[in-house]
Amino acid sequence: MRQQMPERIPGGGVDLSHLAARAQQPAQGSAPAGAPGGGQVVDIPAVVFDLTDATFEQAMQLSSVVPVVIDLWAEWCQPCKTLSPVLEKVTRQSAGQLVLAKVDVDANPGLAQAFQAQSIPTIVALVGGRPVPLFQGAVPEAQVREVFVQLLQLAAEQGVTGRVSAPDLDGEAPTDAEAPAEPEVPEAHKPALEALERGDYAAAAAAYHDVLAKSPRDAEAKAALAQVTLLLRLQGATAEDIRSAAADRPADIEAQLAVADLDLSGGHVEDALLRLLELFAERTDADERSAIRERLLDYFEVVGTADPRVVAARGRLASLLY
């Protein structure tokens, strides 16, 4: 795992050493220092839970008992919607050997920045208070299970061998009548989602184009296509290369658009929208302004047309146009 997992996150690990030091202090009911997991069983409300900037310390403490997998996601992120149910399923089947903490990057920018989330979904873990990079993007269930096995092996090496007990573990889960129903995937969308799971963004984009050719008003497919197209534009490029190109070539419109793509993919919605609006206001070339406007319209679809940030940006764009 020490060789495989970091390769999936450009830029290396996450520097949270100042927080990790605090995690060495055992939480109430946790194992003594020097024996992080200790084989103990801890009762918690749920193995899948939301994590915020304010509750991060609790996750740090829990990571001395079991690995805490962290899912950095956003409501507008289509691959996140593909991956999250898989993560939740595998976590609930883990017999309490690990937990899943879900971080909405829009609501918790501090955590997104701390974990250097260059795009989402980004999956990391905490083991004994220390960050472990796992992977980025939607991956198949088999790969998620393989990564979790490797994570538990690493945790065992670090002495984190406890378990948690919670009502939402498989075998202790709520009845079907109480469990929320998972949204049904439209049949026409399945080829695109299967391509996303394989990491084949080009095939996913082609599949969504096919959906829209037959159903031009399919809002979900339109938003998903904008998201997949964003991922395609970023594929194969590193954050460092993108930012360096933009700094070296301020007049290059494509370089500037790429930085905005990077901001959006990392959950920095306001930064991406503001960057393009300022760029639109600066440029006078009609073709460049058209390219910026089209990219903004794509972003509106990715984030969601009802999002307050999109509403504000749309109003600003209208004022610049007219």
Half-sphere exposure of 209 (CA within 13 A, CB side): 8
Instruction: Using DSSP, state whether 193 is helix, strand or coil.
Output: helix
- The label of the residue with tokens 């979900």 reads 220
CA dist 69 and 103 (Å) reads 10
3-state secondary structure the chain: CCCCHHHHCCCCCCCCHHHHHHHCCCCCCCCCCCCCCCCCEEECCCCEEECCCCCHHHHHHHCCCCCEEEEEECCCCHHHHHHHHHHHHHHHCCCCCCEEEEEECCCCHHHHHHCCCCCCCEEEEEECCEEEEEEECCCCHHHHHHHHHHHHHHHHHCCCCCEEECCCCCCCCCCCCCCCCCCCCCHHHHHHHHHHHHCCHHHHHHHHHHHHHHCCCCHHHHHHHHHHHHHHHHCCCCHHHHHHHHHHCCCCHHHHHHHHHHHHHCCCHHHHHHHHHHHHHHCCCHHHHHHHHHHHHHHHHHHCCCCHHHHHHHHHHHHHHC
Both tokens of 226, joined, read 């904008």
Distances (CA, A) of 45 to 57, 69, 173: 16, 16, 12
Give me the active site residues, please.
Answer: 77, 80
In this structure, how many other beta carbons lie within 10 angstroms of the beta carbon of residue 183? Answer: 9
